[in-house]
């Protein structure tokens, strides 16, 4: 019989949960180290008590950087089984979290399928499911309706929920006055903003935060504090709207921790490269070390079709400077619903960013595969190279499409191969180049 509510509650009472044990093992840490970090709020283990098939992961800046993949049933893809195969493919490709952003039909069966079959942590954004769930237009929903959807998701076994608690009626005036270039680009944030504009009422996720905490405490749902005002272009980065909301999120983090509810904080967004590290440090002080979950940051606005690359640059810098969790961005960002190939490209780019950051941060064993790859390259052990590669199939097929004359080189350099020349030179062999 479980004698605690949330992972944080357990940790604070000195209890090492099975989830903490699993995380400790994966991260080469002691159970006591993990317990202490969870107690402090510096690591979250998103694990709804009803998500039985979860293989738990910890999220925190001192752990391996985790990545999230957004999927879900939409008007264009209504087949649960097809979407579920995408989910499992994403998990196979290395996603530790799946956010179900379903926006069509009855969303509950797919959500329940996820929490009963998927081993990754499952997140949702209740505000956009609200419109779908009630099949009523936004302006007709009451504050209670929104909170009821949070409860529904908790009961369905969701591990974390994005809630845009940090914008208030004051934000409405601030956004109007400040005249950002891109206003609000967070989908959930824009719905909350629109609802406030149409009803004249306060943000329910802010006003009824205590009720939300009760729900999250009961099921151990981690709150991912959404950043409605995340910058949607470089020009808006780090402005008063973004930072005011961050301050609100810091206050709300403290309130959640008082009830033993686990918290992540969401962050940018579009941001010039030179601002990223400072922004990560600011979040860490304002939110007292709560894990930072970023979307990007995208370091330029002018590369539609390549935003998996613009966000891999920003994500690598962010994670090395303190972000704990990267939301993937696909090449279709700003343009269209991603297809399966886009999903793959997005996951790989995010994994590269996360991995590069983990090496930079000195996460235990992060560089093991890189070192093995270097040995395999020096010895021309191609099979071992594929075994070390983040995407063995793609690497192998590039080489095999353009076969070299000899196994001890590739068609890029042929006999000019530096590795070949050096192996011969260091062995005292004659080096033929022509």
- Residues 7 to 66 in contact with a second copy, rule: CB under 8 A: none
List all residues 6 or more positions away from 353 whose beta carbon is below 8 Å from its beta carbon.
65, 311, 312, 313, 315, 316, 319, 326
Compute the distance between CA of residue 278 and CA of residue 98 in angstroms, rounded to an integer: 28
Q: Hey, is 313 helix, strand or coil?
A: helix
Beta bridge partners of 266: 293
Contact 264, 224 (CB under 8 A): yes
Query: Which C-beta is closer to a second copy: that of 215 or that of 234?
Result: 234
Question: Hey, CA dihedral for 209, 214, 215, 219, is it positive or negative?
Answer: positive
Output the furthest CA–CA distance in the chain (Å, rounded): 83
In the block, residue with structure tokens 């071992």: 384
Q: How far is the CB of 380 from a second copy (least distance, A)?
A: 12
Minimal distance in Å, beta carbon 157 to a second copy?
24
82 binds a second copy (CB under 8 A): no
- Binding to a second copy (CB under 8 A): which residues in 95-134? 103, 128, 131
Tell me: does residue 340 bind a second copy (CB under 8 A).
no
CB contact set of 379 (below 8 Å; sequence gap of 6+): none
Q: 292-321 mask for a second copy (x: CB under 8 A)? A: -------xxxxxxxx-xxx-xx--xx--x-
Q: Which is nearer to a second copy, 14 or 304 (CB)?
A: 304
Query: Are 320 and 341 a contacting pair, CB within 8 Å?
Result: no
Q: How near is the Cβ of 318 to a second copy at its closest, in Å?
A: 11
Q: How far is the CB of 415 from a second copy (least distance, A)?
A: 9
- Could you tell me the smallest distance in angstroms from the CB atom of residue 293 to a second copy? 18
What residues contact residue 153 under an 8 Å CB cut-off, 6+ apart?
Answer: 111, 124, 126, 129, 161, 221
Q: What residues between 201 and 240 interact with a second copy by CB under 8 A? A: 232-236
Q: Contacting a second copy (CB under 8 A), which of 16, 89, 143, 273?
A: 273
Minimum separation from the CB atom of position 244 to a second copy (A)? 17
Give Cα 332 to chain centroid, integer Å. Answer: 17
Q: What part of residues 357-416 is at the interface with a second copy (CB under 8 A)?
A: 357, 359-361, 367, 369-371, 373-375, 377-378, 385, 388-391, 394-395, 398-399, 401-402, 404, 410-414, 416
Q: How far is the CB of 90 from a second copy (least distance, A)?
A: 17
């Amino acid at each position: 019989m479980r004698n605690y509510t949330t992972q944080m509650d357990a940790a604070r009472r000195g209890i090492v949960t099975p989830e903490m044990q699993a995380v400790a093992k994966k991260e080469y840490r002691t159970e006591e180290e993990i317990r202490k970090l969870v107690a402090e709020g510096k690591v979250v283990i998103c694990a709804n008590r009803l998500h039985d098939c979860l293989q738990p992961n910890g999220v925190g800046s001192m752990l391996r950087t985790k990545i999230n993949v957004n999927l879900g049933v939409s008007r264009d893809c209504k087949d649960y089984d097809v979407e579920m195969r995408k989910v499992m493919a994403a998990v196979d490709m290395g996603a530790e979290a799946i956010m179900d952003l379903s926006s069509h039909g009855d969303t509950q069966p797919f959500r329940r399928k996820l929490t009963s079959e998927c081993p990754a942590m499952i997140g949702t954004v209740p505000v956009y499911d609200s419109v779908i769930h009630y099949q009523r237009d936004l302006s007709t929903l009451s504050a209670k309706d929104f909170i009821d959807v949070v409860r529904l998701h908790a009961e369905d076994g969701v591990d974390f929920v994005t809630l845009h608690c940090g914008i208030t009626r004051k934000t409405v005036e601030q956004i109007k006055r400040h005249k950002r270039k891109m206003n609000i680009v967070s989908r959930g944030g824009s719905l909350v903003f629109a609802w406030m504009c149409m009803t004249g009422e306060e943000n329910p996720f802010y006003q009824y935060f205590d009720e939300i905490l009760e729900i999250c405490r009961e099921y151990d749902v981690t709150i991912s504090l959404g950043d409605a005002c995340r910058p949607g272009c470089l020009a808006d980065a780090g402005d008063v709207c973004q930072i005011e909301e961050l301050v609100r999120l810091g206050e709300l983090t403290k309130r959640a921790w008082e009830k033993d509810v686990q918290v992540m904080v969401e962050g940018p967004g579009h941001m010039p490269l030179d601002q990223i590290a400072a922004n990560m440090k600011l979040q860490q002080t304002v939110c007292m070390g709560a894990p930072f979950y970023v979307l990007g940051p995208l370091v330029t606005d002018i590369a539609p079709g390549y935003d998996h690359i613009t966000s891999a640059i920003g994500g690598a810098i962010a994670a090395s400077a303190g972000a704990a969790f990267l939301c993937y961005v696909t090449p279709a960002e700003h343009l269209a619903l991603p297809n399966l190939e886009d999903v793959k490209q997005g996951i790989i780019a995010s994994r590269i960013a996360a991995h590069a950051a983990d090496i930079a941060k000195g996460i235990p064993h992060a560089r093991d595969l890189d070192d093995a790859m270097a040995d395999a390259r020096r010895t021309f052990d191609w099979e071992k190279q594929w075994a070390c590669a983040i995407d063995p199939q793609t690497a192998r097929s590039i080489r095999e499409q353009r076969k070299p004359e000899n196994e001890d080189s590739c068609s890029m350099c042929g006999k000019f191969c530096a590795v070949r020349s050096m192996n011969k030179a260091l062995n005292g062999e004659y080096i033929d180049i022509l």
